[in-house]
Amino acid sequence: MNFLENVYLENTLQNWLIAICVLIVVFSGLKIIQRIAISRLSKFAASTDNQIDDLLVSTLKQTKFLILLVVSAYMASYAITLKPSIMALWQKAVVLILILQGGLWASAGISFWLGRMIQKRMDQDSSSATTITFLGFVARLILWTMVLLLVLDNLGVNITGLVTGLGIGGIAVALAVQNILGDLFASLSIVLDKPFVIGDFVVVDALSGTIEHIGLKTTRIRSLGGEQLIFSNNDLLKSRIRNYKRMSERRIVFSFGVVYQTSLEKLKAIKEIVRNIIEKEEEARYDRVHFKEYGDSALNFEVVYFIKQPDYNIYMNVQEAINLELFRRFQEEGIEFAYPTQTLYIQRENAIR
């Protein structure tokens, strides 16, 4: 067994064999642990609604072969003696690989979050997937910029000047494209805060229509006239937006007038007639009827009721039914609707003879 005492690169053959054995054992153990952990966690994750175990599975799958080999080699390196310069270089290489692996784990976390967000949003608002993807791109860009800076710092590069230059350059770029950035941040605000989604009917100042597309820079609305209205996201959020799709019910106010010749008994009966008509409508909820005022040519009544659904077509169908029934009942009761008229009274005096 004297050959085991032979020296190669300042270490005996026995030490090299021990290091190789340590490398093989540690690497095999880590690989087995990784596979068992992924298998068991995957089964556990499939049976629960918790997302943490899904994230752990996704992260473990991003643990690369190289990192396991490097960790095993680092453990094995303690079985041999290395020159200080080589040991320092080896430690830097290990740190660099660990930084890259950390970046891969973080990137896996971002991808997992993006996938969940897109899957969740697609059912509610398919256009938000584009913005979420852009948000993921920005997050990855920031992540790998930080990884690059850590790698350069570990290699001995002075990154202070580089960071300062990037900061100044970033400010200059931000000033040059501030309008575009404003629209991008407005797009993120729309996606995250969700003041409206595709399919909502909105009124923006004097313009109205249905949300058709929400992009990174613009939002497109299809107006009732058929043309497409395009709004800058930043300008859109600065406007007063009325979202009619979010109504739980629609409040309706309408008025009508009857002639001044209507008797007191019939004026009192009008309230009950209108109330009965509204209460017969399944989609309507009665609120009030009042003899409101004496108009120039009519006795005016005000009616308030609620439509239980926000749909505009349902409102018009109910209002039409109320109008027709109101006309029929007034004909039966002999009540006349008023319309703008003027009555001229002429008083004749006895002529002087």
pLDDT of residue 130: 61
Q: Write down the pLDDT at residue 322.
A: 95
pLDDT at res. 101: 83
Give the tokens for residue 333.
Answer: 């009761």
Q: Which amino acid is at 346?
A: I
| Short-list 218, 199, 208, 193, CA closest to 240 | 208
Tokens (6 digits) for 213:
């597309």
Joined together, the tokens standing for residue 305 give 């009721």
Architecture of the 250-333 domain: 2-Layer Sandwich (3.30)
- Establish whether domains 187-246 and 250-333 are of one fold: no
- With beta carbons less than 8 A apart as the criterion, state whether 231 and 270 touch: no
pLDDT of 268 reads 92
Q: Where are the domains of the chain?
A: 187-246, 250-333
Strands 250-258 and 299-307: antiparallel
Identify residue 306 by its one-letter amino acid code: F
Into which CATH architecture does domain 187-246 fall? Roll (2.30)
Check residue 334 and give its pLDDT: 92
pLDDT for position 127: 56
What is the predicted pLDDT for the residue at 326?
A: 95
Q: How far apart are CA 276 and CA 253, in angstroms?
A: 17
Q: Would you call 40 helix, strand, or coil by DSSP?
A: helix
Q: From CA 21, how far away is CA 265, in angstroms rounded?
A: 109
Q: What is the pLDDT of residue 60?
A: 77
Q: What is the pLDDT of residue 84?
A: 75
* CB-neighbour burial class of residue 131 (10 A; exposed 0-12, middle 13-18, buried 19+): buried
Give, for all 353 residues of the chain, the pLDDT tens digit.
565 566 656 667 777 788 888 888 888 888 888 888 888 877 777 777 666 767 777 777 777 787 888 888 878 777 777 777 777 777 788 888 888 888 888 888 887 777 776 666 655 555 556 666 767 777 788 888 888 888 877 777 776 766 666 666 656 555 555 566 667 777 777 777 778 888 888 898 888 899 888 877 888 899 988 899 998 888 888 888 888 888 888 899 999 999 999 999 999 999 999 999 999 999 999 999 999 999 988 999 999 999 988 888 899 999 999 999 999 999 999 999 988 776 677 777 665 54
Cα 28 to Cα 36: distance, rounded to the nearest angstrom: 12
